[in-house]
Amino acid sequence: MKYSGGKNPRKRWASIMSSPTSSKIRVTQIGSPIGRKKSQRATLIGLGLNKLNRSRVLEDTPSVRGMAFKIRHLVHVEPVDEGSGT
């Protein structure tokens, strides 16, 4: 699902994450942590990411969503279908 139009990142984030049927999300690292705050680097590690273009499928919980939102400029988040294993 893509949000078309507008520059408000919260609206874009809400449209991506408004999938109530998915209990898992795929988080892909698209940005480098070089030059970022230590807390942002630690958040990437907490999500299990450490290199560009690596993905993790994680449970869709408020804590994971909050971590992904904190580093939304470094990751791409998408819902995962239950039928697809990865």
Helix or strand holding residue 15 (H, E) = helix 9-16
In the chain the domains, ranked by start, together with CATH numbers, are: 36-80 (3.30.1390.20)
Q: How many residues does the chain have?
A: 86
Q: Tell me: the pLDDT tens digits for 49-83?
A: 999 999 999 999 999 999 999 999 999 999 998 76
Give the predicted TM-score (pTM) of the model.
Answer: 0.74
Per-residue model confidence (pLDDT) at position 8 = 61
* Torsion on CA atoms 10, 12, 15, 16, rounded to nearest 10: -110
Q: Tell me: the pLDDT tens digits for 23-59?
A: 899 999 999 999 999 999 999 999 999 999 999 999 9
